[in-house]
Amino acid sequence: MSNSGVLIVREDTAIKGEVRNCRQLEVYGYIEGDITAAHVLVHQGGRCYGKVKSENADVHGEMQGEVVVKHLINIRSSGSVSGNVRYGKLALEQGGNLSAEVRNVPPSLGGDLDLSVGRGKAVRITPQDLTAYDPDDTAQNLTFTISNARNGFITLAGGRTPVSRFTQADLTSGKVSFMHDGTNTQAASFDVVVADRSGATSGAAQTVKVHVGA
């Protein structure tokens, strides 16, 4: 992604990839990748992971990776910066954290958490519908757990047997589907949590809504 102006990553947004030639990057949500910006501002609750190069950085949230700040990195009271960090000057507020230790990053859920399916039919779940973000685990090591399925169930690889778990790798390869149970209903749903290899999870289960058509 190239942007010579201001790039804002909102709370409900996750970006994975390259950002370069950006004058100012503001992170309220999640960004992961190779990032070059004149000024990086990570707001409280924002998360920034990867290779980060900037002139100045102001961190109220979390930043981790290979971080190079040419001039001033300002770590606020709610901020945390960890990894291989180099800087010209450092300002560290009381409560802020700077560490060489690379911490495990818990996974988070993404996607629009919304599906449409025909009555009694199956629909493939794509990464646009449901996905996981985690900079330090592979797709094979990110496991989704399903609960409270209503008016249908999850299947793998075109089968008709309900499953309660699948991986991010299953999702990206198109193996995961939702099968409606054929009842005369207009809505279905299921709850989902994702965990990484170390057992860290995305927190409370989130609900995926399924709209049922004729």
Instruction: Parse the chain into domains and list their residue ranges.
Output: 6-99, 108-213
C-alpha distance from residue 108 to each of 3, 49, 83 (Å): 26, 13, 20
- Position 4 scores a pLDDT of 59
The two structure tokens encoding residue 37:
């910006």
State how far the Cα of 154 lies from the Cα of 163, in Å rounded to an integer: 6
Contacts of 161 (CB under 8 A, 6+ apart): 155
How are beta strands 206-213 and 187-195 bridged, if at all?
Answer: antiparallel
- Position 5 scores a pLDDT of 87
State how far the Cα of 53 lies from the Cα of 6, in Å rounded to an integer: 16
Q: Look up the pTM and report it.
A: 0.85
SS3 category, 170: helix
pLDDT tens string, the chain, 214 residues long: the values are 444 589 999 998 999 999 998 999 999 999 999 999 999 999 999 999 999 999 999 999 999 999 999 999 999 999 999 999 999 999 999 999 999 988 899 999 999 999 999 999 999 999 999 999 999 999 999 999 999 999 999 999 888 899 999 999 999 999 999 999 999 999 999 999 999 999 999 999 999 999 999 7
Q: Are the C-beta atoms of 20 and 2 separated by less than 8 Å?
A: yes
Question: Which residue type occupies 182?
Answer: G
The two structure tokens encoding residue 143:
């496991």
Contacts of 110 (CB under 8 A, 6+ apart): 14, 30, 130, 131, 132, 133
Nearest C-alpha neighbor of 131 from the set 65, 32, 41: 32
- Position 33 scores a pLDDT of 95
Domain 108-213 annotated CATH 2.130.10.10: no
- Position 204 scores a pLDDT of 96
Contacts of 203 (CB under 8 A, 6+ apart): 106, 193
State how far the Cα of 153 lies from the Cα of 190, in Å rounded to an integer: 8
Q: Are the C-beta atoms of 36 and 54 separated by less than 8 Å?
A: yes
Count of beta carbons in the 10 Å neighbourhood of residue 68: 16
The two structure tokens encoding residue 28:
């309220």
